[in-house]
Amino acid sequence: MNNPREIVKFNGAPVVVTLTFAKGKPASNEHGDFFTYSAEGNRVFFANAALNSAIQGQTPEKGTRLSISRSEAGWDVRRVDPPAEQPGTPPSPVAPRAAMHTPGDDSSVPTQVQYGAAFADFLILAADAVRSAERNSPAGSVRFDNRDVAAIATTMWIAAQKQGFLTWNGAAQGGR
């Protein structure tokens, strides 16, 4: 007899899952596009585009343990017991505070953030995306440099500004 899989739900409290695959399987239904993730313990969970982006921002591998929670501010995805850093590799990425709103995704409320803080977050997101693209390209066929990361982050910043996600309050503008 086939054991039914437990469906993991995210209702505010952090839930720890151990991924059985690094990426979710894309699918869609009458409600839109989503990703199906398998987790250890015969568990499965479904991720909208925003959650999938947050998960992939952690550059997961098979066996990666993640803590996932959902709040009014959006998704919070963090590595649990991150792997030890190897010499010469950059530290694990910091979970970004500013999340872009995905059209049609009402699961998170977009927030306004200060220009400097948003750009710092976009630099982190761009660096993670570049690292992932380089790692997943066939035979290392894709390479980026710091100018590419800056251009990607600038494009993200401009899009966020056009959508009204950034705010400026002069003297209070500072770092993080």
pTM exceeds 0.75 for this model: no
Q: What is the pLDDT at residue 82?
A: 57
Cα separation, 175 vs 118, whole angstroms? 10
Q: What is the pLDDT at residue 138?
A: 76
Q: What is the pLDDT at residue 113?
A: 58
What are the C-alpha distances in Å from 75 to residues 44, 101, 102, 130, 153?
A: 18, 11, 12, 22, 20
29 burial type by CB count under 10 A (0-12 exposed, 13-18 middle, 19+ buried)? exposed
Tens digit of pLDDT per residue, the chain (176 long)? 567 889 999 887 899 999 999 999 999 888 889 999 999 999 999 999 999 999 999 999 999 999 999 888 889 999 987 554 444 444 444 434 444 444 444 444 445 556 666 677 777 888 888 787 778 777 767 788 888 888 887 887 787 777 776 666 554 544 44
Residue among 174, 175, 133, 176 nearest 152 (CA): 133
Q: What is the pLDDT at residue 38?
A: 95
Phi and psi at residue 74, in whole multiples of 5°?
125, -160
Query: Which two tokens mark 77?
Result: 């995805």
Q: What is the pLDDT at residue 176?
A: 41
- Asked whether the beta carbons of 9 and 66 are under 8 A apart, the reply is no
